[in-house]
Amino acid sequence: MTTTEPVTPAVLPSAPPLVAQAERLIERGVHQIAGLAAAELRAFTEAAEAAGGAEGALLAVHPDRAPASALAPLLHRDGRPGFVVADMRDVDLFAPLDTLALPDAPLYLLTGLERGDRMANWSPDEALPALIARARTPLLLTEGMHWVLQQPAVLNRNHCFMTIGSRLRKANGALDARTPAVWISNGTGRDGRERRDAPKVGWCWAGNRHTWLGFASAEGRRV
Which residues does 200 contact at the CB level (< 8 Å), separation at least 6? 82, 83, 85, 182, 183, 184, 185, 191
In a domain, 68, yes or no: yes
Which three-class secondary structure state does DSSP give residue 158? coil
SS (HEC) of 83-146? EECCCCCCHHHCEECCCCCCCCCCEEEEECCECCHHHCCCCHHHHHHHHHHCCCEECCHHHHHH
In a domain, 38, yes or no: yes
Q: Return d(Cα 101, Cα 38) in angstroms, integer.
A: 26
Element holding 26 (H helix, E strand): helix 18-28
The pLDDT, as a whole number, for residue 13 is: 73
In a domain, 80, yes or no: yes
In a domain, 9, yes or no: no
- The dihedral built from the CA positions of residue 81, 197, 143 and 151, taken in this order, carries a sign that is negative
213 and 160 Cβ atoms separated by less than 8 Å: yes
Q: Return d(Cα 55, Cα 194) in angstroms, integer.
A: 37
The pLDDT, as a whole number, for residue 14 is: 79
206 and 178 Cβ atoms separated by less than 8 Å: yes
The pLDDT, as a whole number, for residue 10 is: 65
The pLDDT, as a whole number, for residue 9 is: 55
In a domain, 81, yes or no: yes
Q: State the total domains in the chain.
A: 1
Residue 87, domain extent: 18-222
pLDDT of the chain, 223 residues: tens digit per residue: 443 444 445 678 778 999 999 999 999 999 999 999 999 999 999 999 999 888 899 999 999 999 999 999 999 998 999 999 999 999 999 999 999 999 999 999 999 999 999 999 999 999 999 999 999 999 999 999 999 999 999 999 999 999 999 999 999 999 999 999 999 999 999 999 999 999 999 999 999 999 999 999 999 999 9
In a domain, 171, yes or no: yes
In a domain, 102, yes or no: yes
In a domain, 125, yes or no: yes
